[in-house]
């Protein structure tokens, strides 16, 4: 009983002390906060990308998702991740191993070579202007860049990690990444944020201002006579623009669709698999049969049908953009065409016959001159790299 007043006064004292301490902490936090404001603003500054001649700025903006705005700090984080081999299981493979800025973000190999020299089955596509594809990969199996960007991490023949958790755990042990994720995203490393940062970087990889773009903008001297004749063949007798289509809003020389030109016939296992798939589509067993075929050796050559189950997509692959095509040999999803002249020869022969070949591909009977002109036209589609990439390449 006697102790009570003392205890009360102690309590009062300690509550005053407590409030004082809180005040000091708050004042301190406010001061630090004020100091950080300019830096925070810098972290959240949106990139103003210079869109090159020939590419529509509207289309570019359209392809930047509202959920993943392009802040400068995020792009820088994405660039670091893109070039960091510590993202792979053995520390030797980065995204740039197969998408090398010095090779127009391809690798100049027929098919990709991943972890421990393991060979994939597909040609590494250039990432220049890849952001404009509504679906990613030769068969369009990824929805968008965010979805695509994390898949190589756990691909056993690309970067070889056992799981996304493994990648995230490794990044969390690296203090520089912990700090940077916190400042860019206001939180810890997650696999979705890894995908967002890399995608933001990839959306800076736009390329235009090619001789064709300058010609198209009115400079008659920008393209050689051979290239101009090639353009006529491209649109006319070559019938290339039927699939490699061009419009002001989508000037990428692709219809973003999937076609069977017969490239898959290069794989001797494809013919049998495609015939079984052909008999199965439009039946109730279609999905079961095609899922099973897809797992067999050579099953990847079935292409788009593995995801769509429709007859036209058997052996069908996405029409690639032709911008910068002269920089990204060898060609086709399997890297089977060594040069552009080989590609033109392939079309001149009508592609390769198979059960689901596009119905109106036919031998073109182009003269040698027309074929050379077509190649000259394709070469006129080589654009400029973004300035940020040029300065890094130096």
Could you say which of 43, 196, 207, 261 contacts ligand HEC (CB under 6 A)?
261
DSSP letters spanning 212-239:
HHHHHTT-GGGS-HHHHHHHHHHHTTT-
| Contact region with ligand HEC (CB under 6 A), list: 13-21, 66-74, 132-140, 185-193 | 132-140
Q: Which residue's entry shows tokens 């991943």? A: 114
CB of 362 to ligand HEC, least distance (A): 10
As a whole number of angstroms, the longest Cα–Cα distance in the chain is 114
Within 13 Å and on the Cβ side, how many CA atoms surround 104? Answer: 22
Could you say which of 54, 320, 383, 386 contacts ligand HEC (CB under 6 A)?
320
Integer CA distances (angstroms), 226 to 66, 239, 376, 377, in order? 43, 18, 6, 7
| Contact region with ligand HEC (CB under 6 A), list: 25-33, 35-43, 184-192, 236-244 | 236-244
Q: Which of 76, 113, 158, 202 is flagged as catalytic?
A: 158
Q: Residue 231: name the closest of 374, 88, 345 by CA.
A: 374
Residues 182-221 that bind ligand HEC (CB under 6 A): 198
Query: Which CB sits closer to ligand HEC, 212 or 331?
Result: 331
For residue 359, count other CB atoms closer than 10 A to its CB.
Answer: 8
CB of 159 to ligand HEC, least distance (A): 5
CB of 255 to ligand HEC, least distance (A): 8
Residues 289-318, mask of contacts with ligand HEC (x by CB under 6 A)? ----------------------------x-
Q: How many of the chain's residues bind ligand HEC (CB under 6 A)?
A: 50
Token reading at 328: 């990204």
DSSP letters spanning 337-393:
B-SHHHHHHHHHTTS---TT--TT-------HHHHHHHHHHHHTT--BPPHHHHHHH
Helix (H) or strand (E) holding 17: helix 3-44
Please give the torsion angle defined by the CA atoms of residues 10, 16, 17 and 23, in that order, rounded to the nearest 10 degrees. 170
Could you say which of 244, 306, 323, 357 contacts ligand HEC (CB under 6 A)?
244
Query: Which CB sits closer to ligand HEC, 99 or 214?
Result: 99
| Contact region with ligand HEC (CB under 6 A), list: 56-64, 173-181, 241-249, 385-393 | 241-249
CB of 192 to ligand HEC, least distance (A): 14
How far apart are alpha carbons 133 and 151 in whole angstroms? 17
- Report long-range pairs for 48-51 (Cβ below 8 Å, ≥24 apart): 49/203, 49/204, 49/206, 49/386, 50/386, 50/387, 51/206, 51/208
CB of 168 to ligand HEC, least distance (A): 13
| Contact region with ligand HEC (CB under 6 A), list: 11-19, 59-67, 176-184, 331-339 | 331-339
Contacts of 103 (CB under 8 A, 6+ apart): 327, 328
| Contact region with ligand HEC (CB under 6 A), list: 68-76, 150-158, 172-180, 278-286 | 150-158
For residue 39, count other CB atoms closer than 10 A to its CB.
Answer: 11
Residues 336-365, mask of contacts with ligand HEC (x by CB under 6 A)? ----x--xx--x----------x--x----
Query: Which CB sits closer to ligand HEC, 235 or 275?
Result: 235
For residue 252, state whether it binds ligand HEC (rule: CB under 6 A): no
Q: With contact defined as beta carbons under 8 Å apart, do 112 and 100 qualify?
A: no
Token reading at 340: 């552009």
CB of 130 to ligand HEC, least distance (A): 4
For residue 105, state whether it binds ligand HEC (rule: CB under 6 A): no
For residue 242, state whether it binds ligand HEC (rule: CB under 6 A): yes
φ, ψ of residue 119 in degrees (nearest 5): -90, 135
Query: Which CB sits closer to ligand HEC, 229 or 259?
Result: 259
How far apart are alpha carbons 307 and 260 in whole angstroms? 15
**Residue 158 annotated in active site:** yes
Question: Active-site positions?
Answer: 158
Residues that bind ligand HEC in the complex, under the rule CB under 6 A: 93, 95, 97-99, 112, 114, 120, 122, 124-125, 127, 130, 133, 136-138, 145, 148-149, 152-153, 158-159, 198, 238-240, 242-244, 259, 261, 263, 317, 319-320, 322, 325, 328, 331-333, 340, 343-344, 347, 358, 361, 374
């Amino acid at each position: 009983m006697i102790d009570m007043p003392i205890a009360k006064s102690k309590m009062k004292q300690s509550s005053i002390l407590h409030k004082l301490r809180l005040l000091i902490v708050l004042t301190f936090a406010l001061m630090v906060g004020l100091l950080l404001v300019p830096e925070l603003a810098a972290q959240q500054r949106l990139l103003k990308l210079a869109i090159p001649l020939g590419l529509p700025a509207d289309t570019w903006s359209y392809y930047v998702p509202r959920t993943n705005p392009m802040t400068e700090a995020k792009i820088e984080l994405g660039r670091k991740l893109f070039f960091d081999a510590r993202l792979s299981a053995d520390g030797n493979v980065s995204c740039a191993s197969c998408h090398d800025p010095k090779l127009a973000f391809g690798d100049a190999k027929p098919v990709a070579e991943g972890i421990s020299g393991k060979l994939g089955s597909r040609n590494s596509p250039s990432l220049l202007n890849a952001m404009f594809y509504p679906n990613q990969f030769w068969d369009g199996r990824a929805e968008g860049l965010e979805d695509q960007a994390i898949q190589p991490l756990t691909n056993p023949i690309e970067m070889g990690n056992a799981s996304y958790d493994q990648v995230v755990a490794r990044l969390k042990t690296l203090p520089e990444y912990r700090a940077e994720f916190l400042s860019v995203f206001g939180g810890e490393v997650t696999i979705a944020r890894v995908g967002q940062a890399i995608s933001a970087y990839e959306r800076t990889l736009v390329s235009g201002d090619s001789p064709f773009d300058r010609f198209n903008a009115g400079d008659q001297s920008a393209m050689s006579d051979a290239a101009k004749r090639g353009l006529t063949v491209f649109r006319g007798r070559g019938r290339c623009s039927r699939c490699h289509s061009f419009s002001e809003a989508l000037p990428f020389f692709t219809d973003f669709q999937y076609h069977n030109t017969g490239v898959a016939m290069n794989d001797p296992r494809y013919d049998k698999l495609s015939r079984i798939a052909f008999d199965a589509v439009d039946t109730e067993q279609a999905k079961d049969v095609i899922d099973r075929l897809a797992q067999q050796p050579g099953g990847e050559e079935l292409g788009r049908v593995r995801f769509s189950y429709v007859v036209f997509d058997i052996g069908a692959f996405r029409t690639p953009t032709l911008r910068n095509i002269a920089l990204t040999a060898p060609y086709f999803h399997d890297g089977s065409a060594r040069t552009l002249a080989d590609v033109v020869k392939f079309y001149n022969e009508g592609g390769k016959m198979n059960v689901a070949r596009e119905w109106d591909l036919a031998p073109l009977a182009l003269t040698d001159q027309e074929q050379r002109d077509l190649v000259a036209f394709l070469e006129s589609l080589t654009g400029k790299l973004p300035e940020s990439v040029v300065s890094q390449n130096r």
